Amino acid sequence: MERTTSPAILDRFAEIIERDGIEHVPAGLLNELLAAGRAVCASAVAMAVVVDPTEPAVARERAFGLLSIQIIGRADRAPVPCNRQRAAAGAASAPVRSVDRRNQRPAPLGAA
C-alpha cells in the first residue's frame, strides 16, 4: 500500500470539509490525519477534538486548521521524539533538556 503524503491528506480533508462539511470526512481519512499528526507530535487536544463527532463543527474545523499548521510547519524538521513517543519507547534513556533542568528541585543541603 502506498503511503499518502501529509500535504495530500490535508488537501483531501480540506476539500471534503469545503464540499460536504467535516461530519462527512471518512474514518480512513481521519485516521490518516491522526497518523500525520502523531508523526510530528501535533497537539493531542486538537487531534481529539477533530475526531470527536460530539464537538461542534466549528470547533472541529478549527482543530483541523491547527493540526494543518503543525503538520506542515514541522514536516521539514529532523524527526525528534516528542514526550508521548519517548514515553512509549521508555523515557529513561531520553536526554535531559534544558527545560527539564530548570524544573528540577535542588538537592537538599548536605546531600551528596
pLDDT per position as a tens digit, 42-70: 999 999 999 999 999 999 999 999 999 99
Compute the distance between CA of residue 44 and CA of residue 47 in angstroms, rounded to an integer.
Answer: 5
Is residue 105 in some structural domain?
no
Compute the distance between CA of residue 45 and CA of residue 53 in angstroms, rounded to an integer.
Answer: 14
Mean pLDDT of the chain: 80
Is residue 102 in some structural domain?
no
Is residue 28 in some structural domain?
yes
Write down the pLDDT at residue 69: 93
Write down the pLDDT at residue 89: 61
Domain assignment of residue 47, given as a range: 6-90
Is residue 82 in some structural domain?
yes
Is residue 68 in some structural domain?
yes
Number of structural domains, the chain? 1
Is residue 15 in some structural domain?
yes
Task: Give the contacts of 94 (CB within 8 A, at least 6 positions apart).
Answer: 81, 86
Whole-model pTM: value is 0.67
Is residue 59 in some structural domain?
yes
Q: Give the lowest-confidence range in 26-35, 38-47, 64-73, 88-97.
A: 88-97
Is residue 97 in some structural domain?
no
